[in-house]
Amino acid sequence: MSTDTLMYTPLDSLKEAAARTTELIDMVRHDSPSLLPTTSAILENIEMHLADALGRHIPGITWDRALAMRRSTPEARAATYVFDDGSPVICWLPLNDTGSELTHFPRSNGDAAEHVARIAALHARDGDSDARD
The count of domains in the chain is 2
Shared domain check, 79 and 96: no
For residues 39 and 104, membership in a common domain is answered with no
Quick one: how far is CA 77 from the chain centroid?
Answer: 13
What is the distance between the alpha carbons of residues 128 and 85, in angstroms, rounded to a whole number? 36
114 with 130, same domain: the answer is: yes
Pair (79, 119) in one structural domain: no
Residue 132: CB atoms within 10 A of its CB come to 16
Check whether residue 79 and residue 101 sit in a common domain: no
Q: Are residues 43 and 30 in contact, defined by beta-carbon separation less than 8 angstroms? A: no
23: part of which helix (H) or strand (E)?
helix 10-31
Task: Judge whether 54 lies within some domain.
Answer: yes
Amino acid at 70: R
Domain range for residue 131? 90-133
The answer to whether residue 104 sits within a structural domain is: yes
Residue-wise pLDDT tens for the chain (133 aa)?
445 557 899 999 999 999 999 999 988 888 887 877 778 888 889 999 999 999 999 999 999 887 778 899 999 999 999 999 999 999 998 877 677 788 899 998 989 889 888 888 887 887 765 544 4
